[in-house]
A and B are shown apart, each in its own frame.
Chain A
Amino acid sequence: MTTMAEPPAPAKQRSTSPRARTLRRAIRHGGLIFGGAVLAVIVFVAIFAPWISPHDPYAQNLPNRLIDPFWGAKTDPAHLLGTDQLGRDYLSRIFHGARISLLIGFTTMIVSGLIGTAMGVAAGYFGGRVDDIVNFAIVTRLSMPVILVALAVVAVAGSSLTVVMAVLGCLLWDRFAVVMRAATRQVRDLEYVAAAQALGMSTWRIVASEILPNVGGALIVVATLEMAHAILLEAALSFLGLGVQPPTPSLGLMVSEGRQVMFFKPWLITIPGAALFLLVLSINLLGDGLRDVTSPEGRG
Chain B
Amino acid sequence: MTDTLLKVEDLRVSIPLDNGTLNAVRGISFDVRRGETLCIVGESGCGKSLTSLAVMGLLPKRAKRTATTLAFDGDEIGNLPERRMARLRGDRMAMIFQEPMTSLNPAYTIGDQLEEMFLAHRSDGRRAARARALDLLQKVGITGAERRMGQYPHQLSGGLRQRVMIAMALMCGPDLIIADEPTTALDVTIQAQILHLLIELKREIGLSLVLITHDLGVVARVADRVAVMYAGEIVETGTAQEIFANPQHPYTRGLLDCVPAPGMTKPGEPLGTIPGVVPSLIGELTECAFRERCPLAHDACRRPIPLYPVGPGREVRCVLADRDERTGERRATA
Contacts and interface: CB of A to CB of B under 8 A. Distances in A.
A128 B303 CA distance: 65
A1 B19 contact: no
Interface in A1-16: 1-5, 7-8
Given A1-B303, A4-B279, A4-B283, 13 more contacts: A1-B286, A1-B302, A2-B286, A3-B286, A3-B287, A3-B291, A3-B302, A4-B285, A4-B286, A4-B287, A5-B283, A5-B284, A8-B20
Interface residues of A, number: 7
Interface string B280-317: 00011111000100000000001100000000000000
A167 to B, nearest CB: 44
B161 to A, nearest CB: 28
Contact of A7 (B279, B283, B287, B302): B283
Contacts, number: 20
Contacts of B286: 1-5
A75 B281 CA distance: 68
Contacts of A2: 286
A5 B303 CA distance: 12
Q: Is the interface of A mostly helix, strand, loop or mixed?
A: loop
A211 to B, nearest CB: 33
Contacts of B284: 4-5
Contacts of A3: 286-287, 291, 302
Interface string A264-292: 00000000000000000000000000000
B175 to A, nearest CB: 41
20 contacts: A1-B286, A1-B302, A1-B303, A2-B286, A3-B286, A3-B287, A3-B291, A3-B302, A4-B279, A4-B283, A4-B284, A4-B285, A4-B286, A4-B287, A5-B283, A5-B284, A5-B286, A7-B283, A8-B19, A8-B20
A7 B303 CA distance: 17
B9 to A, nearest CB: 25
Contacts of A8: 19-20
A2 B283 CA distance: 13
Nearest to B301: A3
B283 to A, nearest CB: 5
B279 to A, nearest CB: 8
Nearest to A11: B19
Contacts of A1: 286, 302-303
A181 B303 CA distance: 58
A7 B280 CA distance: 11
B146 to A, nearest CB: 43
Interface in B2-39: 19-20
A8 B287 CA distance: 18
A209 B287 CA distance: 53
Contacts of B283: 4-5, 7
A7 B285 CA distance: 11
A92 B303 CA distance: 76
B108 to A, nearest CB: 26
A160 B284 CA distance: 71
Contacts of A7: 283
Nearest to A6: B283
B112 to A, nearest CB: 30
Contacts of A5: 283-284, 286
Nearest to A1: B302
Contacts of B287: 3-4
Residue of A1, A3, A5, A8 contacting most chain B CB atoms (<10 Å): A3
Interface string A1-34: 1111101100000000000000000000000000
Across chains A and B, which 3 residue pairs bring their CB atoms closest together, nearest first? A5-B284, A3-B287, A5-B283
B243 to A, nearest CB: 29
A181 to B, nearest CB: 27
B304 to A, nearest CB: 11
A3 B288 CA distance: 9
A4 B20 CA distance: 14
Interface in B250-303: 279, 283-287, 291, 302-303
Interface string B124-137: 00000000000000
A5 B21 CA distance: 13
A2 to B, nearest CB: 7
B210 to A, nearest CB: 32
Residue of A2, A4, A7, A8 contacting most chain B CB atoms (<10 Å): A4
A243 B286 CA distance: 74
A1 B302 CA distance: 8
A2 B304 CA distance: 12
A150 to B, nearest CB: 41
Contacts of B19: 8
A134 to B, nearest CB: 31
B18 to A, nearest CB: 11
B24 to A, nearest CB: 17
A7 B283 CA distance: 8
A1 to B, nearest CB: 6
A8 B282 CA distance: 11
Nearest to B285: A4
A5 B20 CA distance: 12
B190 to A, nearest CB: 31
Interface string B102-141: 0000000000000000000000000000000000000000
Interface in A217-253: none
A293 B20 CA distance: 24
Nearest to B279: A4
B244 to A, nearest CB: 32
A74 B291 CA distance: 83
